[in-house]
């Protein structure tokens, strides 16, 4: 029987943050009208981000390219975009009432549904043993749904515009970057084997070998 090893420090931190956020956002939203669906949305987002943190994943990149080799400007810009979108969203309910789309709770329920779909799509891609090019595109589609869900989940007009003008171009750039890296990897694989389709274990071995070589070259520079 396989024992499940738990990272207790990370687990306790995630539980603490989730409980704290539950109380904080309840007190933050509850004095205002039409807040309950957005509160549920916020807590689902917090729980999911906590899970991603516990599993030591960056939720905004597919993970095909190791973090050391990923474009740090793209990572930084998207992180700034995402968390600023969150701040804009919650401020729409609390302070920026003119920014509200209206149509509560229908718009907000759509945002909640999009978040759930985004999480399910991402988990499906991440559970695969061997990543294909189409999986990278599917992953970034889940991120598109995620950022759109923020605009709907908080019913924010400005967030809609922010997603279209800033968020989508950043996602397309990240997708382009990982696709380029994947193409380089495919060229490497074709140079190592003549097999058209690789088993997951063989794919993983070549994947580690390829990126280990790239990391070593980077360290020597």
Position 75 confidence tier, pLDDT thresholds 50, 70, 90: confident
Residue 88 has pLDDT above 90, yes or no: yes
Residue 78 has pLDDT above 50, yes or no: yes
CA 69 → CA 19, 74, 82, 156, 212, distances in Å? Answer: 35, 12, 21, 35, 10
Which residue did the predictor score with more confidence, 198 or 28? 28
In this structure, the chain runs to a length of 221
> Residue 95: how many CB atoms within 10 A of its CB?
10
- Greatest mean pLDDT among 62-76, 109-123, 183-197: 109-123
Residue 27's pLDDT is: 94
| Phi, psi dihedral angles at 26 (to 5 degrees) | -65, -50
Q: Give me the percent of the chain exceeding a pLDDT of 70.
A: 76
- Greatest mean pLDDT among 26-35, 108-117, 178-187, 212-221: 108-117
Residue 129's pLDDT is: 61
> Residue 48: how many CB atoms within 10 A of its CB?
18
Residue 1's pLDDT is: 40
Position 70 confidence tier, pLDDT thresholds 50, 70, 90: confident
Q: Which has the minimum average pLDDT: 35-44, 94-103, 180-189?
A: 180-189
pLDDT digits (tens, 9 = 90+) for 170-215: 999 999 988 888 777 777 666 655 454 555 556 666 666 766 776 6
Q: At what angle do helices 8-29 and 36-54 cross, to 10 degrees?
A: 170
Q: Is the peptide bond before 166 cis (omega within 30 degrees of 0)?
A: no
In degrees, rounded to 5, the angle at the alpha carbon of residue 111 between the alpha carbons of residues 20 and 54 is 40
In degrees, rounded to 5, the angle at the alpha carbon of residue 64 between the alpha carbons of residues 42 and 214 is 135
Residue 5 has pLDDT above 80, yes or no: no
Q: What is the pTM of this model?
A: 0.82
Residue 202's pLDDT is: 60
| Phi, psi dihedral angles at 116 (to 5 degrees) | -65, -45
Q: What DSSP letter does each residue of the chain carry, written as one string?
A: -PPPP--HHHHHHHHHHHHHHHHHHHHHHTTSSS-HHHHHHHHHHHHHHHHHHHTT--TTS-SSS-TTTS-HHHHHHHHHHHHHHHHHHHHHHHT-GGGB---TTHHHHHHHHHHHHHHHHHHHHHT-SS--HHHHHHHHHHHHHHHHHHHHHTTBHHHHHHIIIIIHHHHHHHHHHHHHHHHHHHHHHHHH---SS--HHHHHHHHHHHHHHHHHHHHH-
Report the mean per-residue pLDDT for the chain: 83
């Amino acid at each position: 029987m396989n024992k499940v090893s738990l990272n207790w420090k990370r687990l306790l931190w995630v539980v603490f943050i989730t409980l704290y956020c539950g109380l904080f956002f309840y007190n933050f939203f509850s004095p205002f009208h039409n807040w309950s669906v957005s509160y549920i949305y916020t807590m689902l987002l917090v729980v999911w981000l906590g899970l991603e943190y516990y599993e030591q994943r960056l939720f905004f990149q597919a993970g095909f390219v190791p973090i050391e080799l990923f474009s740090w400007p793209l990572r930084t810009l998207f992180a700034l975009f995402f968390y600023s979108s969150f701040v804009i969203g919650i401020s729409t309910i609390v302070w920026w009432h003119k920014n509200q789309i209206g149509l509560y709770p229908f718009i907000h329920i759509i945002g909640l549904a999009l978040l759930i779909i985004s999480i399910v799509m991402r988990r499906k891609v991440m559970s695969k043993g061997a990543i294909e090019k189409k999986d990278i595109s599917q992953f970034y589609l889940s991120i598109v749904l995620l950022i759109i869900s923020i605009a709907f989940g908080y019913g924010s007009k400005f967030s809609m515009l922010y997603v279209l003008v800033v968020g989508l171009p950043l996602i397309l750039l990240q997708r382009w970057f990982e696709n380029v890296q994947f193409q380089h990897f495919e060229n490497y694989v074709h140079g190592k084997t003549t097999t058209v389709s690789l088993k997951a274990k063989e794919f993983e071995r070549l994947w580690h070998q390829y990126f280990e070589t790239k990391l070593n070259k980077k360290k020597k520079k």
